Amino acid sequence: MRGLHVYVVLALAVFILASGNRLNEYVMHVAIIAMFYAMMAASWSLLSGYAGLFSLGHMAFASLGGYTSALLVQWSGVPVPVGMAAAVVLTALGGGAIGWVCLRMSGPYLAIFTLALSEILRIGLSTESQVTAGMAGLHTTPLFHSRSDLPYYYTAFAMLVASLAIMGGIVHSRWGLFFRAIREDEQAAAASGVDVVRFKITAFAVASSFAGLAGAFYAHYIGILTPSLGSLDLMGLVVAMTIIGGLESIPAAVGGAAGVETLQEVLRSYAQWRLVLFGVILLVVMRFARNGLLAPLWHQLVCVKVGGLPRLGRHVPQEESRL
Amino acid sequence: MEYALIQATNGAVIGIIYALIAVGVTLIFSILKIVNFAHGDLYMLGGYFSYYALTLLGVPPLGAIFVAIAASFTLGVILERLLLTPLYNETTERKDEYGLLITFGLAIALRNLAIIIFGPFPLRPTPVWSGAQRLGQLIVTNDRVFAGAAGIVLIISLLYFMHGTIWGQALDAVSQSRDAAAIVGINPRFFNSLGFGVGAALAGGAGALIAPVFTLAPDMGVLANIQAYVIVILGGMGSVLGSIIAGLVIGEAETLFTAFFPDPTRALAYSNAFGVLVLMIVLIVRPTGVFGRRHLRLE
Amino acid sequence: MTRDAALVEGKTLCKRFGGIVAVDAVEFAVQDGDLIGLIGPNGSGKTTLVNLLTGHLAPDSGHAFLRGRRMTGLPASDFAAQGVGRTFQLTQLFRRMTVLENMLVPGLTRPGSTRGAVERRARTYLTFLNLAHLEHLSAKNLSGGQQKLLELGRALMLEPAILFLDEPFAGVHPHLRDEIITRIQELHTAGRTFVVVDHDMESILRIARRLVVMARGRKIADGPPAQVRADQGVLTAYAGV
C-alpha cells in the first residue's frame, strides 16, 4: 500500500520520457530550462528549508560551475562531461568553504554575506573579460552535437531524477533529521549530539554541488554564458519558485520551479511585468501561505494510500514527518 | 594634491549619504528586529519621487526633496502595515527568516516595477543648487555641497528626534522591549509603523539628495543596499552613531580607493566590490559584526 | 583517565560577560551516582556553570573534565557524545518536529545505531515518560509540562552517564512536578547521575543527596542538605540579596 504520490510521480516520469519525440523545439527548450530551475530550487530548498541556511549565493555557484566547466573544456580540451565533473568538485569544495566561513553567522548575516559574495563574483566575471569574455558572452562547447535538443532533454531529466533521488535519500535519512534539528534549534541540536559544524558545512557543499552541476549543464546547453547567470534577479527567481512551491518540501519546490517557469513563458509578452508578478506572488504566499502553495497538495498525495483502505482515524495535517 | 582633496571632499559627501541610508537600516533593525533587504530600493524610489515631483508636479527642487521624504515615509508605513505585521504576532515562527524573505521579495517587486514604470534609462533631476564652489584650488560642484549639507541637517534632525523628543525616546523604548514599552503605555503598533516609516524616509531622502549628483537608475538600490549592510555591520547593528561614523569612513575609503586604484578601467567596477570585500572580511573575523548589539543606542 | 576521577569536574572555572563575572573560580566535582541540587539566588551563575560543564560555553580560564579527560573548548556535541545530557531552562525542543523525531535525533547520533533499534528505544522512553500516545504530535503542541518531559526524554536518548537539568520544575503543575520527581528518582536508582538546578527548594530537598550553593558567581557551600541549610553564609546569601 503506497501513497498516491508514488504513482503520480511515476506517471509524470513516463509522460516526460514519452513526450520527448513529440515536443516542438520551443516547448522542449522551456522544459529543459524548467528542469534546470527545478534542480536549483530543490537544492536551495535542501539548504534553506531543511538546514536553515538562507544563502543568497546559490545562483553564484551555478555561475561558478558553468564558467569552470566552460573554461576548463576550452583551455585543456577535455570532454565536456569531465568539465562538468570538475565543476561539481569545485563547487562542492567552494560550498564547503563558504559553509565553514559562515558557521557562526546568524540568518540575516549569512544572507548578506552570500549576497555580497554573489555580487563580487558577478563583478569579477564581468570585469575580467579577457578570461571570461565578460558581458559579451563566453561561447561554450556544446554537450551534444545534434540537431535537436532531444539528448539535452533526456540528460536534463536524468540529472534531475538522479539529483532528486540523492536529495530525497538525504532528507529521509538521519542526515535529514539532523539538518532539520539544526534549523529548529542549533543549540539544542548540539546538546543532542549533532555535530553542527560538520553538518552545516556538508549541507553547503552538497547543495552547492548540485547548483554547480546544473550551472555546468546550462552552460554547455545554452552555448553562451554571461555573468548574468549569477545575477540577483535570477537568485530572486529561484527563491520565488521555492517559496511559492514550498520551502520545506523538495517535491513542492520542484513543482514551484516548473510552475513559475511555465508561467514565465506563457506570459512572455509581458517581459518585465513577469518578475514583478513573481515578486508579488512571493509576497502574498509568504504573508498568507508561508508553507507554499504546492506543499499541502503534495502532502495530500502522500497521505492518500492506494491499494487498500484509506487510513482512517486521527490525521492532522503537518503532524506527520515532512517529506 | 588637489586631486586628493577633491576626491576626499566627494568621499565625505558620499559618506554622509551612506550614513543616512545605513541609519535607516539600523533603525529598522532595532525596532522591527529584521534586516530590510528592500532598503536600497526605498532609496532608489526616493530619488524617483523627487524627480517626478520636479517634472510632473512642477515642484521646485528643494520642495521635491521634501516631497520625496514624505512619500517615502508614507510608502514605508503602508508596506509595514501590509507585509510586516506577522512579525509582532506570537504565533509567527522564525521571524528573522520571515523578515529576510519578505523584504527580499519586496526588493524584487519594487526594482522590477521601477524598471517598468520609470524605464531603464538613467534620469537626472535638476539640482537644488547649480554651479560650483571654488575654494582656492578646490572645485566642488554645488549639488554635492547641497547634498552633503542637507544630509548633515537630516542626520542632526534625526539625532534630535531620537534623543530630544518624546516620540524618539518611545522608539528607543520599543527597540529595547516591545512588551515593556507596551506596559508603560507606548503603543508598539504605532511605533513600529513609525520606525519603518522613518527608516524608509531616511533612505528616500538620501536617494533624493544624491539623485542630481549621480543619475537615477532602477538598479541603483542594489549596490546601495550592500554598502548599507557593510556600514551597519561595521558600525554595529543598532547603533545610530556607529552607522554615521562607519558611513563616513566607508564613503571616504571607497572614493579614495577608486581614485587611486592603479588600473582605471577596473577601478569603477571594483570600487563597488571594495565595500563588499570589507564586509566579507569583517564577517569572517567577527561574525556578529564589529559592535553587535540588539537594540538602538545613541552614543 | 584514572579510575577514581570524578565523572564531571570543573577546575577554577571563570567566565565573564562584559563587565560581569558570571562564574568566579568555581571548583565543582560530580561523582558517579551523585544527585546534586545546584541552588542559589537569581543571577548567581548556575546556568552559566552548567553551560561551561556541558560545552555550550568555553571558560575564560579553568578547565572542564569528563572522567579525567580535558574537554575545554570542545563543542557541545562532543560532550553529548561522551555521555553528558542536559535540559534547558526554557525548553528548547525541535518545535516543528514530532515527539518521536525529537527523540530520534539524539538517538541516531550514536555510532552504529540503526533506525529500527533507535525507534524502539525511543518508544520505551516515551512510555516511561507517559508521552507514547503523543508520538506523532508536533512538539510545539504539547503542554508545558509535557514539553519538559520530552526534553528529559531527548536527553535520555544519549544514554548519558550524567544529566544536567536546568529548572525542570519551573512553571510546572504540582501534579506533573511529582511525576518528574518520581522519574528522576527512578533514573537515579537505575544508575544515572544528576545535577539539578532549580529554585523550587521543596522539590530539590526531596531528591538531592548533596547541595551546592552559588552566589554572585562563587560556590559558597557544598555538602549534605542538612549541613548546607545550617550554613550561615548560605542564609546570608539568600536573605541579603
Give C82's contacts in chain A (Cβ within 8 Å). Answer: none
Which of the residues in chain A have pLDDT under 50? 313-321, 323
Using CA atoms, how far apart are residues C136 and A185, in angstroms rounded to an integer?
19
Mean pLDDT of B147-161: 89
CB contact, 8 Å: B37 with chain A? yes
A to C CB pairs, distance under 8 Å:
92
Q: Which of B108, B258, B285 to mutate: most A Cβ within 10 Å?
A: B108
pLDDT band of B295, cuts 50, 70, 90:
very low
Instruction: Give the residue from C86, C87, C109 with the most A CB atoms within 10 Å of its CB, the best one to mutate.
Output: C109
| Contact (CB<8Å) C95/A184 | yes
On the question of pLDDT at C1 being above 60, the answer is no
In a domain, B299, yes or no: no
Contact between B129 and B143 under an 8 Å Cβ cutoff? The reply is yes
How many angstroms separate the CA of residue A169 from the nearest CA in chain C? 14
pLDDT at B288: 66
pLDDT digits (tens, 9 = 90+) for C162-177: 999 999 988 888 888 8
What pLDDT is attached to residue B207? 93
Give the minimum alpha-carbon distance from B162 to chain A in angstroms, rounded to a whole number.
26
Segment B59-84 mean pLDDT:
92
Q: Which phi and psi (to 5°) does residue C129 adopt?
A: -95, 5
**Three-state SS at B84:** helix
The answer to whether the Cβ–Cβ distance between C136 and A193 falls below 8 Å is no
Under an 8 A CB cutoff, do B272 and A106 touch? no
Is the residue at A322 inside a domain?
A: no
Q: Is B70 a residue whose pLDDT tops 70? A: yes
Interface test with A, best of C97, C113, C134, C165 (most A CBs within 10 A): C97
How high is the mean pLDDT of chain C? 89
DSSP state at residue C219: E
- What was the pLDDT predicted at B188? 79
What pLDDT is stored for residue B280 in this prediction?
76
Average pLDDT over residues B120-138: 75
Q: Please give the average per-residue pLDDT across B14-22, as a whole number.
A: 91
pLDDT band at C189 (very low <50, low <70, confident <90, very high): very high
Q: CB of C220 within 8 A of CB of C229?
A: no
3-class DSSP assignment, residue B127: coil
What is the pLDDT, as a whole number, of residue C21? 87
Q: What is the ipTM of this complex?
A: 0.91
Secondary structure of A63-106 in HEC code, one letter for each residue: HHHHHHHHHHHHHHCCCHHHHHHHHHHHHHHHHHHHHHHCCCCC
Closest CA of chain A from C4, distance in Å: 26
Look at chain B and report how many structural domains it folds into: 1
Summarised one tens digit per residue, pLDDT across range B170-199 is 888 887 777 777 788 778 788 889 999 999
Q: Residue C22 pLDDT > 60, yes or no?
A: yes
Cβ partners under 8 Å of residue C25, min gap 6: C12, C13, C14, C62, C218
Q: Do B105 and A275 touch (CB under 8 A)?
A: no
For residue A47, the chain B residues in CB contact (below 8 A) are none
Distance (Å) from the C-alpha of residue C232 to the closest C-alpha of chain A? 37
- Report which of residues C144 and A62 the model is more confident about: A62
CB pairs under 8 A between A and B: 124
φ and ψ of C171, to 5 deg? 65, 25
Nearest to C76 among A185, A191, A321 (CB): A191
The boundaries of the domain holding residue A91 are 2-305
| pLDDT score at A313 | 47
Rounded Cα gap, residues C74 and A299, in angstroms: 40
Does B106 contact chain A (CB < 8 Å)?
yes
For range C201-222, the mean pLDDT = 89
Contact flag C101-A197 (C-beta cutoff 8 Å): no
| Alpha carbon of residue B125 to chain centroid | 19
Quick check: A119 and B35 CB within 8 A?
no
Is the residue at A323 inside a domain?
Answer: no
In this prediction, residue B292 carries a pLDDT of 52
How high is the pLDDT of residue A320? 43
Which stretch of DSSP H or E encloses residue C214? strand C210-215
CA-nearest residue to A195 within chain C is C77
The C-alpha atoms of residue C87 and residue B208 are separated, in whole angstroms, by 54
Give backbone dihedrals phi and psi of B149, rounded to 5 degrees, phi first. -65, -50
C-alpha cell at B290: 564589529
CATH number of C8-240: 3.40.50.300
pLDDT reported for residue C142? 92
Classify residue C157 by its DSSP letter.
Answer: T
Contact at CB, B273 and A272, closer than 8 angstroms: no
φ, ψ of residue C166 to 5 degrees: the values are -100, 105
pLDDT > 80? residue C46: yes
Is B278 among the domain residues? Answer: yes
Query: For residue C163, which of C216, C102, C207, C219 has the smallest C-alpha distance?
Result: C207
Domain CATH for B236: 1.10.3470
CATH of the domain at A268: 1.10.3470
Determine the pLDDT at residue B164: 87
Asked if A177 lies within 8 A of C97 by C-beta distance, the reply is yes
Chain B neighbours (≥3 Cβ pairs under 8 A) are: A
When mean pLDDT is compared over B209-223, B236-250, C74-88, the highest value belongs to C74-88
Angle formed by the axes of helices A58-76 and A80-101, to 10°?
Answer: 140
Average pLDDT over residues B84-91: 85
Per cent of chain C over pLDDT 70 is 97
What is the average pLDDT score of chain B?
84
Number of domains in chain A: 1
Would residue A312 count as lying in a domain?
Answer: no
pLDDT tens per residue across span A93-135: 999 999 998 888 888 889 988 998 898 899 889 888 888 888 8
| DSSP per-residue codes, B199-265 | HHHHHHHHHHHHTTTSPB-TTHHHHHHHHHHHHHHHH-TTBHHHHHHHHHHHHHHHHHHHHH-S-HH
Distant-in-sequence, close-in-space partners of C24: CB < 8 Å, separation ≥ 6: C14, C45, C216, C217, C218
- Averaged pLDDT, B141-161: 87
Domain limits for position B264:
2-285
Residue B252 pLDDT greater than 80, yes or no: yes
What's the distance, CA B75 to chain centroid? 15
Rg (CA), chain A: 20
Whether pLDDT at C216 is above 50: yes
pLDDT tens per residue across span C122-133: 999 999 998 999
C108-114 average pLDDT score: 92
pLDDT of residue B281: 81
% of chain B surpassing 90 pLDDT: 28
A130 touching B (Cβ < 8 Å): no
Q: Which residues contact C23 (CB under 8 A, 6 or more apart)?
A: C13, C14, C15, C45, C48, C49, C52, C59, C217
Q: Which residues from C are below 8 Å from A when comparing CB atoms?
A: 54-56, 75-77, 80-81, 85-86, 88, 92-98, 101, 104-106, 108-110, 115, 136-138, 141, 154-155, 157-158
